[in-house]
Structure 1
Amino acid sequence: MATLILVRHGRSTANTAGLLAGWTPGVTLDERGAEQAAALPGRLAGLPLAAAVTSPLERCRQTLEPLLAARPGLAVHTEERIGECHYGDWSGRKLSELADEPLMKIVQQHPSGAVFPGGESMRAMQARAVDAVHEWNARIAREHGDDAVYLMCSHGDIIKSLVADALGMHLDLFQRIHVDPCSVTAIRYSPTRPFLLRLGDTGDFATLAPPRADTAAAADKATEDGGNAVVGGGAGAA
Protein backbone atom coordinates (compact mmCIF):
# COMPACT_ATOMS: atom_id res chain seq x y z
CA MET A 1 0.00 0.00 0.00
CA ALA A 2 0.97 3.65 -0.26
CA THR A 3 2.98 5.81 2.13
CA LEU A 4 1.10 8.94 3.17
CA ILE A 5 2.90 12.19 4.00
CA LEU A 6 0.61 14.37 6.10
CA VAL A 7 1.53 18.06 6.20
CA ARG A 8 -0.26 20.42 8.51
CA HIS A 9 -0.71 23.85 6.92
CA GLY A 10 1.74 26.59 7.84
CA ARG A 11 1.03 28.97 10.70
CA SER A 12 -2.07 31.02 9.96
CA THR A 13 -3.44 34.41 10.93
CA ALA A 14 -5.99 32.61 13.12
CA ASN A 15 -3.23 30.66 14.89
CA THR A 16 -1.38 33.82 15.90
CA ALA A 17 -4.61 35.57 16.88
CA GLY A 18 -5.61 32.66 19.11
CA LEU A 19 -8.78 31.99 17.12
CA LEU A 20 -10.42 28.67 16.29
CA ALA A 21 -10.60 29.06 12.53
CA GLY A 22 -12.58 26.05 11.35
CA TRP A 23 -14.02 26.85 7.93
CA THR A 24 -14.08 30.62 8.51
CA PRO A 25 -13.26 32.30 5.17
CA GLY A 26 -10.28 34.61 4.77
CA VAL A 27 -7.87 32.71 7.05
CA THR A 28 -4.48 32.75 5.33
CA LEU A 29 -0.87 32.04 6.19
CA ASP A 30 0.89 34.68 8.25
CA GLU A 31 4.49 35.73 7.55
CA ARG A 32 5.94 32.83 9.50
CA GLY A 33 3.54 30.41 7.80
CA ALA A 34 4.67 31.63 4.37
CA GLU A 35 8.29 31.01 5.41
CA GLN A 36 7.39 27.51 6.54
CA ALA A 37 5.66 26.81 3.22
CA ALA A 38 8.67 28.13 1.28
CA ALA A 39 10.93 25.68 3.12
CA LEU A 40 8.70 22.69 2.42
CA PRO A 41 10.09 21.83 -1.07
CA GLY A 42 13.60 21.49 0.35
CA ARG A 43 12.43 19.36 3.26
CA LEU A 44 10.65 16.96 0.90
CA ALA A 45 13.25 17.05 -1.87
CA GLY A 46 14.21 13.41 -1.42
CA LEU A 47 10.68 12.09 -1.79
CA PRO A 48 9.30 10.99 -5.19
CA LEU A 49 5.76 12.21 -4.63
CA ALA A 50 3.14 10.58 -6.84
CA ALA A 51 0.44 13.17 -6.10
CA ALA A 52 -0.66 15.88 -3.68
CA VAL A 53 -4.09 16.07 -2.08
CA THR A 54 -5.24 19.17 -0.22
CA SER A 55 -7.99 20.43 1.99
CA PRO A 56 -10.01 23.06 0.10
CA LEU A 57 -9.22 25.73 2.71
CA GLU A 58 -6.95 28.57 1.62
CA ARG A 59 -4.26 28.08 4.25
CA CYS A 60 -3.64 24.55 2.99
CA ARG A 61 -3.61 25.55 -0.67
CA GLN A 62 -1.16 28.35 0.14
CA THR A 63 1.09 25.92 2.00
CA LEU A 64 1.39 23.76 -1.11
CA GLU A 65 2.04 26.60 -3.58
CA PRO A 66 5.87 26.56 -3.24
CA LEU A 67 5.97 22.76 -3.51
CA LEU A 68 3.82 22.78 -6.63
CA ALA A 69 5.97 25.53 -8.15
CA ALA A 70 9.07 23.42 -7.50
CA ARG A 71 7.40 20.34 -9.00
CA PRO A 72 5.36 21.58 -11.97
CA GLY A 73 4.37 18.07 -13.02
CA LEU A 74 2.94 17.08 -9.63
CA ALA A 75 -0.80 16.43 -9.81
CA VAL A 76 -2.84 18.13 -7.09
CA HIS A 77 -6.34 17.18 -6.02
CA THR A 78 -8.80 18.83 -3.63
CA GLU A 79 -10.48 16.62 -1.02
CA GLU A 80 -13.33 18.05 1.08
CA ARG A 81 -13.13 15.21 3.60
CA ILE A 82 -9.71 16.28 4.89
CA GLY A 83 -10.94 19.83 5.45
CA GLU A 84 -10.92 21.19 9.00
CA CYS A 85 -13.44 20.06 11.57
CA HIS A 86 -16.76 21.92 11.25
CA TYR A 87 -16.70 23.69 14.61
CA GLY A 88 -20.03 25.38 13.93
CA ASP A 89 -20.81 28.19 16.37
CA TRP A 90 -17.31 27.91 17.83
CA SER A 91 -15.70 28.94 14.54
CA GLY A 92 -13.90 32.27 14.64
CA ARG A 93 -14.04 32.53 18.45
CA LYS A 94 -11.08 33.05 20.74
CA LEU A 95 -9.70 29.85 22.23
CA SER A 96 -9.24 31.66 25.56
CA GLU A 97 -13.01 32.25 25.69
CA LEU A 98 -13.88 28.73 24.59
CA ALA A 99 -11.82 27.32 27.47
CA ASP A 100 -14.68 28.22 29.83
CA GLU A 101 -17.38 26.53 27.74
CA PRO A 102 -18.79 23.34 29.37
CA LEU A 103 -18.29 21.52 26.06
CA MET A 104 -14.53 22.07 26.24
CA LYS A 105 -14.23 19.49 29.03
CA ILE A 106 -15.89 16.96 26.71
CA VAL A 107 -13.63 17.97 23.79
CA GLN A 108 -10.58 17.42 26.00
CA GLN A 109 -11.55 14.31 27.95
CA HIS A 110 -14.21 12.53 25.87
CA PRO A 111 -13.89 13.83 22.28
CA SER A 112 -15.80 10.88 20.86
CA GLY A 113 -18.83 12.36 22.63
CA ALA A 114 -18.24 15.95 21.49
CA VAL A 115 -20.63 17.57 19.02
CA PHE A 116 -19.98 21.21 18.17
CA PRO A 117 -23.13 23.39 18.25
CA GLY A 118 -24.15 24.06 14.68
CA GLY A 119 -21.25 21.87 13.49
CA GLU A 120 -20.22 18.23 13.42
CA SER A 121 -19.12 15.62 15.93
CA MET A 122 -15.47 14.74 16.35
CA ARG A 123 -16.38 11.13 15.53
CA ALA A 124 -17.79 12.26 12.19
CA MET A 125 -14.67 14.35 11.55
CA GLN A 126 -12.42 11.35 12.08
CA ALA A 127 -14.63 8.97 10.10
CA ARG A 128 -14.69 11.13 6.98
CA ALA A 129 -10.94 11.71 7.11
CA VAL A 130 -10.15 8.02 7.60
CA ASP A 131 -12.49 7.08 4.75
CA ALA A 132 -10.78 9.62 2.50
CA VAL A 133 -7.31 8.27 3.31
CA HIS A 134 -8.27 4.66 2.64
CA GLU A 135 -9.86 5.58 -0.68
CA TRP A 136 -6.83 7.65 -1.71
CA ASN A 137 -4.48 4.87 -0.62
CA ALA A 138 -6.26 2.49 -2.97
CA ARG A 139 -6.32 5.00 -5.81
CA ILE A 140 -2.63 5.90 -5.46
CA ALA A 141 -1.60 2.25 -5.27
CA ARG A 142 -3.72 1.44 -8.31
CA GLU A 143 -2.36 4.32 -10.38
CA HIS A 144 1.25 4.46 -9.14
CA GLY A 145 2.01 1.12 -7.50
CA ASP A 146 2.12 -0.22 -3.96
CA ASP A 147 5.36 1.59 -3.10
CA ALA A 148 4.07 5.04 -4.07
CA VAL A 149 4.41 8.03 -1.76
CA TYR A 150 1.84 10.81 -1.79
CA LEU A 151 1.07 13.91 0.26
CA MET A 152 -1.99 15.33 1.97
CA CYS A 153 -2.09 18.89 3.33
CA SER A 154 -4.63 19.16 6.10
CA HIS A 155 -5.30 20.47 9.62
CA GLY A 156 -4.23 19.75 13.18
CA ASP A 157 -7.28 17.90 14.48
CA ILE A 158 -7.68 15.97 11.22
CA ILE A 159 -4.05 14.79 11.30
CA LYS A 160 -4.25 13.89 14.99
CA SER A 161 -7.37 11.82 14.35
CA LEU A 162 -5.66 10.00 11.45
CA VAL A 163 -2.64 9.22 13.62
CA ALA A 164 -4.93 7.90 16.36
CA ASP A 165 -6.63 5.64 13.83
CA ALA A 166 -3.28 4.40 12.49
CA LEU A 167 -2.10 3.55 16.01
CA GLY A 168 -5.35 1.80 16.94
CA MET A 169 -6.02 4.45 19.58
CA HIS A 170 -9.53 5.36 20.66
CA LEU A 171 -10.50 8.88 19.61
CA ASP A 172 -10.77 9.75 23.30
CA LEU A 173 -6.96 9.57 23.45
CA PHE A 174 -6.22 11.71 20.40
CA GLN A 175 -5.70 14.90 22.40
CA ARG A 176 -2.42 13.34 23.60
CA ILE A 177 -1.05 13.87 20.07
CA HIS A 178 0.41 17.20 18.91
CA VAL A 179 1.41 18.41 15.45
CA ASP A 180 2.92 21.86 14.84
CA PRO A 181 2.20 24.06 11.80
CA CYS A 182 3.89 22.77 8.64
CA SER A 183 5.03 19.63 10.45
CA VAL A 184 5.34 16.36 8.55
CA THR A 185 3.74 13.13 9.72
CA ALA A 186 4.30 9.93 7.72
CA ILE A 187 2.21 6.75 7.78
CA ARG A 188 2.99 3.69 5.70
CA TYR A 189 -0.06 1.52 5.10
CA SER A 190 0.26 -2.24 4.59
CA PRO A 191 -2.47 -4.83 3.91
CA THR A 192 -2.57 -5.74 7.61
CA ARG A 193 -1.66 -2.58 9.57
CA PRO A 194 -0.35 0.99 9.28
CA PHE A 195 3.12 2.00 10.49
CA LEU A 196 3.69 5.48 11.94
CA LEU A 197 7.09 6.58 10.57
CA ARG A 198 7.18 10.26 11.57
CA LEU A 199 5.03 12.36 13.86
CA GLY A 200 4.90 16.15 13.77
CA ASP A 201 8.43 16.44 12.38
CA THR A 202 9.52 20.04 11.78
CA GLY A 203 13.24 19.25 11.59
CA ASP A 204 13.82 21.88 14.28
CA PHE A 205 14.64 20.64 17.77
CA ALA A 206 14.71 24.24 19.02
CA THR A 207 10.91 24.05 19.08
CA LEU A 208 11.24 21.70 22.07
CA ALA A 209 12.73 24.48 24.20
CA PRO A 210 10.42 26.55 26.45
CA PRO A 211 8.84 29.33 24.36
CA ARG A 212 9.29 33.02 25.17
CA ALA A 213 6.54 34.43 27.33
CA ASP A 214 5.43 36.92 24.65
CA THR A 215 4.70 34.38 21.91
CA ALA A 216 1.60 32.53 20.77
CA ALA A 217 3.54 29.33 21.42
CA ALA A 218 3.80 30.33 25.07
CA ALA A 219 0.02 30.54 25.28
CA ASP A 220 -0.25 27.12 23.63
CA LYS A 221 2.30 25.71 26.09
CA ALA A 222 0.40 27.18 29.03
CA THR A 223 -2.73 25.44 27.79
CA GLU A 224 -0.90 22.13 27.49
CA ASP A 225 0.68 22.55 30.94
CA GLY A 226 -2.82 23.03 32.30
CA GLY A 227 -3.76 19.61 30.93
CA ASN A 228 -5.70 20.75 27.88
CA ALA A 229 -4.75 20.21 24.23
CA VAL A 230 -4.90 23.21 21.89
CA VAL A 231 -8.06 22.67 19.87
CA GLY A 232 -7.30 23.16 16.20
CA GLY A 233 -3.59 22.53 16.69
CA GLY A 234 -2.11 25.79 18.00
CA ALA A 235 0.44 28.22 16.55
CA GLY A 236 3.66 26.27 17.13
CA ALA A 237 6.99 27.95 17.80
CA ALA A 238 7.61 31.62 16.97
Structure 2
Amino acid sequence: MTTVLLIRHGRTSANTAGILAGRTSGVELDAVGERQVADVGTRLAGVPLRTVVSSPLRRCRQTSQAVVGPRTDGCPVVIEQGLVECGYGEWTGKALRDLAKEKLWATVQTQPSAVRFPGGESMTEMSSRAVNAVRTWNGRMEAEHGPHAVWAAVSHGDVIKAILADALGMHLDAFQRLMVDPASVSIVRYTESRPYVVTVNSTNADLGQLLQPPPKKARGRRKAVDDAAVGGGLGALPPVSADPDA
Protein backbone atom coordinates (compact mmCIF):
# COMPACT_ATOMS: atom_id res chain seq x y z
CA MET A 1 0.00 0.00 0.00
CA THR A 2 2.65 2.47 -1.06
CA THR A 3 1.77 6.11 -1.61
CA VAL A 4 3.23 8.29 -4.35
CA LEU A 5 3.25 12.09 -4.42
CA LEU A 6 3.14 13.24 -8.04
CA ILE A 7 4.85 16.62 -8.17
CA ARG A 8 4.93 18.79 -11.27
CA HIS A 9 8.00 20.98 -11.70
CA GLY A 10 7.73 24.68 -10.89
CA ARG A 11 7.03 27.43 -13.41
CA THR A 12 9.58 28.09 -16.16
CA SER A 13 10.11 30.94 -18.61
CA ALA A 14 8.82 28.60 -21.33
CA ASN A 15 5.53 28.33 -19.44
CA THR A 16 5.10 32.09 -19.26
CA ALA A 17 6.14 32.54 -22.91
CA GLY A 18 3.63 29.94 -24.08
CA ILE A 19 6.31 27.69 -25.55
CA LEU A 20 6.09 23.90 -25.63
CA ALA A 21 9.46 23.16 -24.04
CA GLY A 22 9.19 19.38 -24.31
CA ARG A 23 12.57 17.75 -23.87
CA THR A 24 14.56 20.89 -24.69
CA SER A 25 17.66 20.84 -22.52
CA GLY A 26 18.53 23.66 -20.14
CA VAL A 27 14.98 24.89 -19.46
CA GLU A 28 15.09 26.17 -15.88
CA LEU A 29 12.69 27.38 -13.23
CA ASP A 30 12.04 31.12 -13.25
CA ALA A 31 11.99 33.20 -10.06
CA VAL A 32 8.33 32.35 -9.41
CA GLY A 33 9.01 28.67 -10.04
CA GLU A 34 11.87 28.69 -7.55
CA ARG A 35 9.57 30.14 -4.88
CA GLN A 36 6.87 27.60 -5.75
CA VAL A 37 9.13 24.58 -5.32
CA ALA A 38 10.69 25.98 -2.16
CA ASP A 39 7.16 26.10 -0.74
CA VAL A 40 6.60 22.48 -1.78
CA GLY A 41 9.79 21.52 0.06
CA THR A 42 8.52 23.25 3.18
CA ARG A 43 5.11 21.56 2.94
CA LEU A 44 6.74 18.15 2.59
CA ALA A 45 9.40 18.61 5.28
CA GLY A 46 7.42 16.57 7.80
CA VAL A 47 6.32 13.85 5.37
CA PRO A 48 8.38 10.63 5.71
CA LEU A 49 9.58 10.41 2.12
CA ARG A 50 11.76 7.43 1.29
CA THR A 51 12.92 8.55 -2.14
CA VAL A 52 12.34 11.33 -4.68
CA VAL A 53 12.31 9.93 -8.22
CA SER A 54 12.77 12.59 -10.91
CA SER A 55 12.50 13.12 -14.62
CA PRO A 56 16.01 13.78 -15.97
CA LEU A 57 15.13 17.25 -17.30
CA ARG A 58 16.66 20.17 -15.46
CA ARG A 59 13.43 21.82 -14.30
CA CYS A 60 12.44 18.58 -12.57
CA ARG A 61 15.88 18.04 -11.06
CA GLN A 62 15.72 21.60 -9.65
CA THR A 63 12.29 20.83 -8.20
CA SER A 64 13.54 17.57 -6.69
CA GLN A 65 16.44 19.32 -4.99
CA ALA A 66 14.03 21.89 -3.53
CA VAL A 67 11.89 19.05 -2.15
CA VAL A 68 14.81 17.39 -0.33
CA GLY A 69 16.56 20.67 0.58
CA PRO A 70 14.80 21.28 3.95
CA ARG A 71 15.04 17.63 4.97
CA THR A 72 17.48 16.14 7.46
CA ASP A 73 16.75 12.46 6.77
CA GLY A 74 19.05 12.06 3.76
CA CYS A 75 16.18 11.36 1.35
CA PRO A 76 17.85 10.49 -1.99
CA VAL A 77 17.00 11.84 -5.45
CA VAL A 78 17.04 9.23 -8.22
CA ILE A 79 16.68 9.93 -11.96
CA GLU A 80 14.05 7.91 -13.84
CA GLN A 81 13.86 8.08 -17.65
CA GLY A 82 10.31 6.74 -17.55
CA LEU A 83 9.14 10.04 -16.04
CA VAL A 84 10.64 12.25 -18.76
CA GLU A 85 8.44 14.71 -20.66
CA CYS A 86 6.40 13.47 -23.61
CA GLY A 87 8.44 13.38 -26.82
CA TYR A 88 6.70 16.14 -28.79
CA GLY A 89 9.04 15.77 -31.76
CA GLU A 90 8.67 18.60 -34.27
CA TRP A 91 6.32 20.44 -31.93
CA THR A 92 9.11 20.98 -29.42
CA GLY A 93 10.06 24.62 -28.93
CA LYS A 94 7.08 26.02 -30.84
CA ALA A 95 4.54 28.53 -29.56
CA LEU A 96 1.30 27.03 -28.33
CA ARG A 97 -0.68 29.69 -30.20
CA ASP A 98 0.84 28.42 -33.46
CA LEU A 99 0.39 24.76 -32.58
CA ALA A 100 -3.29 25.43 -31.88
CA LYS A 101 -3.70 26.06 -35.63
CA GLU A 102 -2.46 22.57 -36.51
CA LYS A 103 -5.01 19.88 -37.45
CA LEU A 104 -3.48 17.55 -34.87
CA TRP A 105 -4.29 20.02 -32.09
CA ALA A 106 -7.99 19.11 -32.07
CA THR A 107 -7.12 15.42 -31.78
CA VAL A 108 -4.76 16.17 -28.87
CA GLN A 109 -7.69 17.81 -27.12
CA THR A 110 -10.39 15.21 -27.85
CA GLN A 111 -8.70 11.89 -28.67
CA PRO A 112 -5.13 11.89 -27.34
CA SER A 113 -4.95 8.10 -27.61
CA ALA A 114 -4.86 8.55 -31.40
CA VAL A 115 -2.02 11.10 -31.34
CA ARG A 116 1.55 10.55 -32.40
CA PHE A 117 3.51 13.79 -32.48
CA PRO A 118 5.36 14.26 -35.80
CA GLY A 119 8.85 12.89 -35.32
CA GLY A 120 8.06 12.10 -31.69
CA GLU A 121 6.23 9.89 -29.23
CA SER A 122 2.61 8.80 -29.17
CA MET A 123 0.59 9.76 -26.12
CA THR A 124 -0.24 6.11 -25.46
CA GLU A 125 3.49 5.33 -25.39
CA MET A 126 4.05 8.20 -22.97
CA SER A 127 1.24 6.96 -20.73
CA SER A 128 2.42 3.36 -20.80
CA ARG A 129 6.05 4.03 -19.84
CA ALA A 130 5.08 6.57 -17.15
CA VAL A 131 2.54 4.26 -15.51
CA ASN A 132 4.98 1.37 -15.74
CA ALA A 133 7.68 3.51 -14.07
CA VAL A 134 5.39 4.41 -11.17
CA ARG A 135 4.19 0.85 -10.65
CA THR A 136 7.76 -0.47 -10.80
CA TRP A 137 8.87 2.05 -8.17
CA ASN A 138 5.83 1.21 -6.04
CA GLY A 139 6.97 -2.41 -5.97
CA ARG A 140 10.52 -1.43 -5.18
CA MET A 141 9.49 0.93 -2.36
CA GLU A 142 7.24 -1.69 -0.79
CA ALA A 143 9.97 -4.34 -1.02
CA GLU A 144 12.56 -2.05 0.58
CA HIS A 145 10.49 -0.05 3.07
CA GLY A 146 7.23 -1.89 3.66
CA PRO A 147 3.66 -1.48 2.40
CA HIS A 148 3.14 2.00 3.87
CA ALA A 149 6.15 3.65 2.23
CA VAL A 150 5.70 7.17 0.85
CA TRP A 151 7.76 8.41 -2.09
CA ALA A 152 7.63 11.25 -4.61
CA ALA A 153 7.74 11.32 -8.41
CA VAL A 154 8.70 14.67 -9.96
CA SER A 155 7.59 15.00 -13.55
CA HIS A 156 5.65 17.00 -16.14
CA GLY A 157 2.04 18.03 -16.70
CA ASP A 158 0.95 15.54 -19.36
CA VAL A 159 2.91 12.72 -17.75
CA ILE A 160 1.27 13.25 -14.36
CA LYS A 161 -2.17 13.56 -15.97
CA ALA A 162 -1.63 10.21 -17.67
CA ILE A 163 -0.63 8.56 -14.37
CA LEU A 164 -3.68 10.06 -12.65
CA ALA A 165 -5.98 8.93 -15.46
CA ASP A 166 -4.71 5.38 -15.02
CA ALA A 167 -5.23 5.53 -11.25
CA LEU A 168 -8.75 6.88 -11.72
CA GLY A 169 -9.63 4.18 -14.27
CA MET A 170 -10.15 6.88 -16.91
CA HIS A 171 -9.53 6.34 -20.61
CA LEU A 172 -6.58 8.37 -21.84
CA ASP A 173 -8.99 10.32 -24.06
CA ALA A 174 -10.47 11.88 -20.91
CA PHE A 175 -7.18 12.94 -19.33
CA GLN A 176 -7.46 16.52 -20.60
CA ARG A 177 -10.20 16.99 -17.99
CA LEU A 178 -7.51 16.93 -15.29
CA MET A 179 -5.63 20.03 -14.14
CA VAL A 180 -2.00 19.72 -13.02
CA ASP A 181 -0.51 23.15 -12.29
CA PRO A 182 3.19 23.98 -11.89
CA ALA A 183 4.49 22.87 -8.46
CA SER A 184 1.23 21.08 -7.68
CA VAL A 185 1.10 17.83 -5.71
CA SER A 186 -1.26 14.97 -6.48
CA ILE A 187 -1.37 11.90 -4.23
CA VAL A 188 -2.18 8.31 -5.18
CA ARG A 189 -2.24 5.42 -2.71
CA TYR A 190 -1.81 2.00 -4.33
CA THR A 191 -3.30 -1.10 -2.72
CA GLU A 192 -3.74 -4.73 -3.75
CA SER A 193 -7.32 -4.07 -4.83
CA ARG A 194 -7.07 -0.66 -6.53
CA PRO A 195 -5.37 2.74 -6.48
CA TYR A 196 -6.97 5.51 -4.40
CA VAL A 197 -6.57 9.10 -5.55
CA VAL A 198 -6.19 11.11 -2.34
CA THR A 199 -5.88 14.56 -3.88
CA VAL A 200 -5.24 16.19 -7.26
CA ASN A 201 -3.50 19.45 -8.15
CA SER A 202 -2.91 20.54 -4.55
CA THR A 203 -0.99 23.80 -4.20
CA ASN A 204 -1.68 24.71 -0.57
CA ALA A 205 -3.25 21.80 1.37
CA ASP A 206 -1.65 20.38 4.51
CA LEU A 207 0.00 17.35 2.92
CA GLY A 208 0.91 15.81 6.25
CA GLN A 209 -2.77 15.79 7.17
CA LEU A 210 -3.63 14.00 3.91
CA LEU A 211 -0.98 11.37 4.53
CA GLN A 212 -2.07 10.13 7.94
CA PRO A 213 -1.10 6.48 8.60
CA PRO A 214 -3.81 4.01 7.53
CA PRO A 215 -5.86 2.35 10.30
CA LYS A 216 -4.55 -0.90 11.74
CA LYS A 217 -6.02 -4.05 10.24
CA ALA A 218 -8.65 -5.77 12.31
CA ARG A 219 -8.22 -9.48 13.05
CA GLY A 220 -9.76 -11.70 10.45
CA ARG A 221 -10.06 -8.84 7.93
CA ARG A 222 -6.70 -8.86 6.18
CA LYS A 223 -7.81 -6.57 3.33
CA ALA A 224 -9.91 -4.17 5.36
CA VAL A 225 -7.66 -1.18 4.70
CA ASP A 226 -7.82 -1.87 0.94
CA ASP A 227 -11.61 -1.73 0.82
CA ALA A 228 -13.45 1.41 -0.21
CA ALA A 229 -15.45 3.08 2.57
CA VAL A 230 -19.13 2.58 1.78
CA GLY A 231 -20.88 5.90 2.24
CA GLY A 232 -17.68 7.91 1.94
CA GLY A 233 -15.89 7.14 5.19
CA LEU A 234 -14.57 9.33 7.98
CA GLY A 235 -12.01 11.26 5.97
CA ALA A 236 -8.88 12.89 7.41
CA LEU A 237 -9.05 13.58 11.12
CA PRO A 238 -8.78 17.25 12.18
CA PRO A 239 -5.51 18.28 13.81
CA VAL A 240 -5.50 17.99 17.61
CA SER A 241 -5.04 21.31 19.35
CA ALA A 242 -2.92 21.56 22.48
CA ASP A 243 -5.35 24.16 23.76
CA PRO A 244 -8.66 22.54 24.81
CA ASP A 245 -10.42 25.88 24.38
CA ALA A 246 -9.05 26.50 20.90
Give yes or no for TM over 0.5: yes
Give the alignment's TM-score, normalised by structure 1.
0.84
Match in the other structure for 2:118: 117
* C-alpha separation in 2, matches of 1:134 and 1:124: 15
Letter of the 2:91 counterpart:
W
Match in the other structure for 1:210: none
Stretches of 4+ aligned residues off by more than 3 angstroms: none
Give CA deviations for 1:33-90 in whole Å, capped at 9, x if unaligned: 0111111121112310011100000000111222222225111110001110000000
Q: In the alignment, is residue 187 of structure 1 matched against residue 188 of structure 2?
A: yes
Offset at residue 13 of structure 1 (A): 1.3
Asked if 1 retains the 8 angstrom alpha-carbon contact of 2:5 and 2:187, the reply is yes
Letter of the 1:101 counterpart:
E
* C-alpha separation in 1, matches of 2:66 and 2:21: 23
Tell which has more relative contact order, 1 or 2 (C-alpha 8 A, sep 6+): 1
* C-alpha separation in 1, matches of 2:79 and 2:9: 14
Give the alignment's TM-score, normalised by structure 2.
0.81
Q: In the alignment, is residue 163 of structure 1 matched against residue 164 of structure 2?
A: yes
Match in the other structure for 2:11: 11
* C-alpha separation in 2, matches of 1:118 and 1:24: 14
Gaps of 5+ in 2: 206-246
* C-alpha separation in 2, matches of 1:151 and 1:50: 8
Gaps of 5+ in 1: 205-238
Offset at residue 22 of structure 1 (A): 0.5
Match in the other structure for 1:61: 61
Q: In the alignment, is residue 35 of structure 1 matched against residue 29 of structure 2?
A: no
Letter of the 1:48 counterpart:
P
Match in the other structure for 1:126: 127
**Whose radius of gyration is greater, 1 or 2?**
2
Which structure: greater helix fraction? Answer: 1
Root mean square deviation of aligned Cα: 1.0
Asked if 1 retains the 8 angstrom alpha-carbon contact of 2:45 and 2:71, the reply is no
